[in-house]
Amino acid sequence: MLKAVLIALVAGIVAVAIFIMLAVKSSAELSYREAGEAEYNWQGAYAYCEAEGGRLPNILELTGLMYRDALSNKKNDYWSRTGMFGYAFGANTKSNILSFDRFGDIDHVVCVRG
Protein backbone atom coordinates (compact mmCIF):
# COMPACT_ATOMS: atom_id res chain seq x y z
CA MET A 1 0.00 0.00 0.00
CA LEU A 2 2.76 2.48 0.94
CA LYS A 3 4.66 1.62 -2.24
CA ALA A 4 1.59 2.45 -4.37
CA VAL A 5 1.14 5.77 -2.57
CA LEU A 6 4.80 6.67 -3.11
CA ILE A 7 4.62 5.74 -6.79
CA ALA A 8 1.49 7.89 -7.20
CA LEU A 9 3.17 10.78 -5.37
CA VAL A 10 6.28 10.61 -7.55
CA ALA A 11 4.16 10.36 -10.70
CA GLY A 12 2.22 13.45 -9.61
CA ILE A 13 5.39 15.42 -8.95
CA VAL A 14 6.81 14.43 -12.34
CA ALA A 15 3.55 15.42 -14.07
CA VAL A 16 3.57 18.85 -12.39
CA ALA A 17 7.23 19.39 -13.30
CA ILE A 18 6.53 18.50 -16.94
CA PHE A 19 3.50 20.82 -16.99
CA ILE A 20 5.59 23.72 -15.65
CA MET A 21 8.39 23.08 -18.15
CA LEU A 22 5.89 23.02 -21.02
CA ALA A 23 4.23 26.17 -19.66
CA VAL A 24 7.49 28.11 -19.49
CA LYS A 25 8.38 26.99 -23.01
CA SER A 26 4.94 27.90 -24.41
CA SER A 27 5.11 31.41 -22.98
CA ALA A 28 8.71 32.14 -24.04
CA GLU A 29 7.85 33.49 -27.50
CA LEU A 30 4.71 35.38 -26.55
CA SER A 31 4.51 39.13 -26.45
CA TYR A 32 2.35 40.24 -23.56
CA ARG A 33 0.94 43.37 -22.01
CA GLU A 34 -0.83 43.82 -18.70
CA ALA A 35 -3.86 46.00 -18.11
CA GLY A 36 -2.00 47.72 -15.27
CA GLU A 37 -3.93 47.92 -12.02
CA ALA A 38 -7.30 47.59 -13.81
CA GLU A 39 -9.32 44.51 -12.89
CA TYR A 40 -12.18 42.93 -14.83
CA ASN A 41 -14.59 40.05 -14.65
CA TRP A 42 -13.84 37.25 -17.13
CA GLN A 43 -16.06 38.58 -19.92
CA GLY A 44 -14.62 42.09 -19.44
CA ALA A 45 -11.06 40.72 -19.51
CA TYR A 46 -11.81 38.78 -22.70
CA ALA A 47 -13.27 41.90 -24.35
CA TYR A 48 -10.39 44.09 -23.13
CA CYS A 49 -7.77 41.85 -24.73
CA GLU A 50 -9.68 41.67 -28.01
CA ALA A 51 -9.98 45.47 -28.07
CA GLU A 52 -6.19 45.69 -27.49
CA GLY A 53 -5.51 43.37 -30.44
CA GLY A 54 -4.55 40.41 -28.28
CA ARG A 55 -6.19 37.58 -26.39
CA LEU A 56 -6.30 36.15 -22.90
CA PRO A 57 -3.59 33.50 -22.48
CA ASN A 58 -4.60 29.88 -22.16
CA ILE A 59 -3.82 28.25 -18.82
CA LEU A 60 -0.52 26.80 -20.04
CA GLU A 61 0.70 30.20 -21.30
CA LEU A 62 -0.46 31.99 -18.14
CA THR A 63 1.29 29.44 -15.93
CA GLY A 64 4.47 29.98 -17.95
CA LEU A 65 4.25 33.76 -17.49
CA MET A 66 3.76 33.27 -13.75
CA TYR A 67 6.73 30.90 -13.36
CA ARG A 68 8.94 33.14 -15.52
CA ASP A 69 8.10 35.92 -13.04
CA ALA A 70 6.76 38.05 -15.92
CA LEU A 71 3.59 39.27 -14.16
CA SER A 72 3.98 42.53 -12.27
CA ASN A 73 1.11 42.29 -9.76
CA LYS A 74 2.69 39.89 -7.27
CA LYS A 75 -0.21 39.31 -4.91
CA ASN A 76 -3.17 38.90 -7.25
CA ASP A 77 -5.08 36.60 -9.55
CA TYR A 78 -4.91 36.78 -13.34
CA TRP A 79 -7.47 35.41 -15.80
CA SER A 80 -6.81 32.79 -18.45
CA ARG A 81 -9.11 32.15 -21.41
CA THR A 82 -9.51 28.54 -20.30
CA GLY A 83 -13.03 28.46 -18.91
CA MET A 84 -16.00 26.14 -18.47
CA PHE A 85 -19.37 26.07 -16.76
CA GLY A 86 -19.16 29.70 -15.62
CA TYR A 87 -15.65 29.33 -14.17
CA ALA A 88 -12.19 30.04 -15.59
CA PHE A 89 -8.72 29.01 -14.57
CA GLY A 90 -6.33 31.69 -13.47
CA ALA A 91 -2.99 32.13 -11.80
CA ASN A 92 -2.54 33.36 -8.24
CA THR A 93 0.79 35.19 -8.12
CA LYS A 94 0.77 35.46 -4.33
CA SER A 95 0.90 31.68 -3.86
CA ASN A 96 2.18 30.66 -7.33
CA ILE A 97 -0.74 28.31 -7.78
CA LEU A 98 -3.56 27.93 -10.27
CA SER A 99 -7.00 29.20 -9.29
CA PHE A 100 -10.50 28.46 -10.55
CA ASP A 101 -12.73 31.54 -10.28
CA ARG A 102 -16.32 32.36 -11.21
CA PHE A 103 -16.71 34.44 -14.39
CA GLY A 104 -18.17 37.22 -12.23
CA ASP A 105 -15.08 37.54 -9.99
CA ILE A 106 -12.74 40.48 -10.54
CA ASP A 107 -9.11 39.69 -11.42
CA HIS A 108 -6.11 41.23 -13.20
CA VAL A 109 -5.54 40.86 -16.92
CA VAL A 110 -2.58 40.12 -19.14
CA CYS A 111 -3.12 39.99 -22.90
CA VAL A 112 -0.87 37.98 -25.20
CA ARG A 113 0.03 37.80 -28.86
CA GLY A 114 1.90 35.09 -30.66
- Give 60-105 pLDDT, tens digit per residue: 899 889 888 888 878 889 999 998 999 999 998 888 888 889 999 9
- pTM listed for this prediction: 0.75
In this prediction, residue 109 has a pLDDT band, given cuts at 50, 70 and 90, of very high
Question: Cα 84 to chain center, whole Å?
Answer: 15
Q: Which residues contact 111 (CB under 8 A, 6 or more apart)?
A: 32, 33, 34, 35, 48, 49, 52, 54, 55, 56, 57
**Residues 51-54: contacts with CB within 8 Å, 24+ apart?**
52/111, 53/113, 54/111, 54/112, 54/113
Question: What CATH code would you report for 2-113?
Answer: 3.10.100.10
Dist. CA 50–CA 102, nearest whole Å: 20
Per-domain residue ranges of the chain: 2-113
